[in-house]
Amino acid sequence: MLSHDAKPAQEVGRERGRGAHKGQQTRAAILEAALSLASQMGIEGLSIGALAEVTGMSKSGVFAHFGSREELQISVIREYHARFADEVFLPAIREPRGLPRLRALFTRWVDKVATEIDSGCIYISGAVEFDDRPGPVRDALVEMVRTWHGALDRAIRLSVDVGHLRPDTDPMQMLFEIHGLILSLHHDARFLRSSGAVDRAHKAFERVIQFYAVDPAKAPVGAVAINAAKVEGERSSSTPL
């Protein structure tokens, strides 16, 4: 690289690639810091200035990666959503359709909220922060929450289809009840600092299942074994989050 000769085109291309790669790494590092900041201060606490301070970068350096505060906030919401998908959704949909998958979605959701007791969940706090602030940030948050609700809704409908839940199950009603358990967990563990909230969430979830299950005595566990073989071949058709 000390040569003053013009570099061959291939090498220039490789360096550009490296430059782009470094740019992506910097962007990822800023996003990482932004996620951490947002979980402590809220999405409204995010600003180019605050982020420059935390990362030790110049404001213009941060600005080069995120053109505006709003774009930064939306990028953080999308990054949170991508991680949520990786940690909660994707491993859960590898479970067989029906209650095993629905239970995996819930269990991993509880795990995610439980690991966020100290930092806070961006979905939950964002919903309160932006519930009356119209605009692109709110729209991005609503879209992410709706996407996640859509995934749960499908898992409930599939549980009906494979015969684990009663045909008259109202997916929106069941979703309302399940989501409430997560919100109660977040409230009690984070705000009231009360212990035992995770256990309460699991116990309550089993009660909800018990209510909607075809055969409360058997379905939650029994149906899994009965339908596992049938369900095995259907996994590939799951709609991605």
Q: For residues 160 and 197, which CB has a smaller minimum distance to its own copies in the complex?
A: 197
CB 118 to its own copies: min, Å: 8
Tell me how far apart the alpha carbons of residues 82 and 88 are, in angstroms, rounded to a whole number: 10
Tell me how far apart the alpha carbons of residues 213 and 205 are, in angstroms, rounded to a whole number: 12
| Residues from 142 through 181 that contact its own copies (CB under 8 A) | 142, 145-146, 172-173, 176-177, 179-181
Q: Is 190 in the site for its own copies (CB under 8 A)?
A: yes
Nearest to 234 by CA among 89, 87, 95, 105: 95
Q: Is 183 in the site for its own copies (CB under 8 A)?
A: yes
| Pair of tokens at residue 159 | 């549980």
Contact residues for 82 (Cβ-Cβ < 8 A; gap 6+): none
CB 190 to its own copies: min, Å: 5
CB 142 to its own copies: min, Å: 7
Given candidates 15, 86, 111, 131, which one binds its own copies under the rule CB under 8 A?
131
Tell me how far apart the alpha carbons of residues 191 and 171 are, in angstroms, rounded to a whole number: 29
Given candidates 197, 213, 231, 241, which one binds its own copies under the rule CB under 8 A?
197
Q: Is 132 in the site for its own copies (CB under 8 A)?
A: yes
Nearest to 125 by CA among 137, 135, 136, 111: 137
Q: Is 20 in the site for its own copies (CB under 8 A)?
A: no
CB 127 to its own copies: min, Å: 4
Q: For residues 24 and 40, which CB has a smaller minimum distance to its own copies in the complex?
A: 40
DSSP string, 97-115: TTHHHHHHHHHHHHHHHHH
Q: Which residues of 103-137 are buried (b: 16+ CB within 10 A; e: fewer)?
A: bbbbbbbbebbeebeeebbbbbbbeebbeeeeeeb
Q: For residues 5 and 132, which CB has a smaller minimum distance to its own copies in the complex?
A: 132
Please report, as ranges, the residues that interact with its own copies according to CB under 8 A: 40, 42, 118, 120, 124-125, 127-132, 141-142, 145-146, 172-173, 176-177, 179-184, 187-188, 190-192, 196-197, 200-201, 203-204, 207, 211
